[in-house]
Structure 1
């Protein structure tokens, strides 16, 4: 489902689970309020109505666990997992892939910041290991990220992936530029999820190409970010 201000998955991820990405258009509409806030985190927190846990994202593979007593910022971490209700998990991106994982019952949730480094180091697999349910009971939503046609990487990246998992070669296409490859973060993530029997929900957006909706670091070295959020509501 598409809206100018936010993007949601096409189906419910789990019982009571809310997930969406706040787009560039959302932040531009609220630009004056954002300027008056101390930070992006404070601004989003003032709008959401539930506590939010943020990450000091470092392009790693660490996935932290969130409990009722968890601080609102976790250092040096790129993924979150929780069984708590009414606590939102937040990911900031401007080309990297925001990945949301949920059990179909909605009792377990994870939010990941997936760049090529974290993906190659196993952040997706690390998050899945946190879940108590079987993988066939998981649903994954890949929020918008950069597409392969606009994501060129070097031979070093290609070699790292293929040496650690030969099947990763399917996510690379040789570039017209010598020694370069076009890499699909989305395809590689989907491949890793589907081989574990996980249902995947994706989209055709590109954060580089669809500039009305998204910030892109690759396109204009933007320091601004979209925010992807997920939480399970308890209305009691």
Structure 2
């Protein structure tokens, strides 16, 4: 596949850890799902999704089928390999041969690895999951001190596009008053929320300081990314991590 089909994680991960996010470029899907949609739940032709997932495995030489999840905007964490399609918004794997993955189209994907390359994880963090503690639950499932972990944030909705109500700010501020710094005034009665800043704040509160990525906006870059806010009928990108 073309290089533009993937956004490679730019972080000092240990040798053997592979991490990336797909873009919407280079697949078999048509119409609003064009073209590299990897989600089976968004109305795309199932044959196209099957073809796209095969392209993903082949082009990356994946060691196994990714551990696809039934994402529900919660904070449950599955341990790869996963049987069936568990309701979870993050997964953790240790050792070789298992691929953690989350699907997004505006929500924030966060990939994790241990500094010694012994474990990896992927988390899906929309604002509800982020406020609910999905990142903290993923750190706990990794079973290592946060100071020995790295995190990379893939493309998500940027603060200029993420308009929310006051209830979203309250959901974060009840846990951490410093979350107020992640919101700026928008239209009357509305706020602009910075998912990246909220994730950094929560990770640092948990003791993880080595945080990379962030800053891209899925809404404003229609050529590279799907965006549910921009187009409610759309595909999904995948963020994957594994130990090669």
Q: Shorter chain as normaliser: what TM range? A: 0.7 to 0.9
Q: Does 1:4 align with 2:18?
A: no
Q: How does 1:8-157 map to 2 (within 5 A)?
A: 8-27=8-27, 31=35, 36-37=47-48, 39=50, 41=53, 44-45=56-57, 47=59, 48-51=61-64, 52-67=66-81, 70-71=82-83, 73-157=84-168
Query: Unpaired runs of 5+ in structure 2?
Result: 39-44
- Post-superposition offset of 1:75: 1.9
Residue equivalent to 2:42: none
Query: Unpaired runs of 5+ in structure 1?
Result: none
CA contact (8 A) 1:95 1:208 kept: yes
The CA distance in 1 between the partners of 2:18 and 2:72, in whole Å, is 26
Root mean square deviation of aligned Cα: 2.3
> CA 1:33/1:9 → structure 2, altered by over 3 Å: closer, same or farther?
closer
Runs of 4+ in structure 1 off by over 3 angstroms are 28-49
The CA distance in 2 between the partners of 1:56 and 1:42, in whole Å, is 19
- Name the TM-score, length of structure 1 as normaliser: 0.87
- Post-superposition offset of 1:167: 1.4
User: In the comparison of the two structures, how many residue pairs are matched?
Assistant: 227
- Post-superposition offset of 1:28: 6.1
Deviation string for 1:135-183 (max 9, x for gaps)?
11111000111101100011111111112221111111111x2221111
- Name the TM-score, length of structure 2 as normaliser: 0.85
The CA distance in 2 between the partners of 1:139 and 1:33, in whole Å, is 28
The CA distance in 1 between the partners of 2:19 and 2:12, in whole Å, is 9
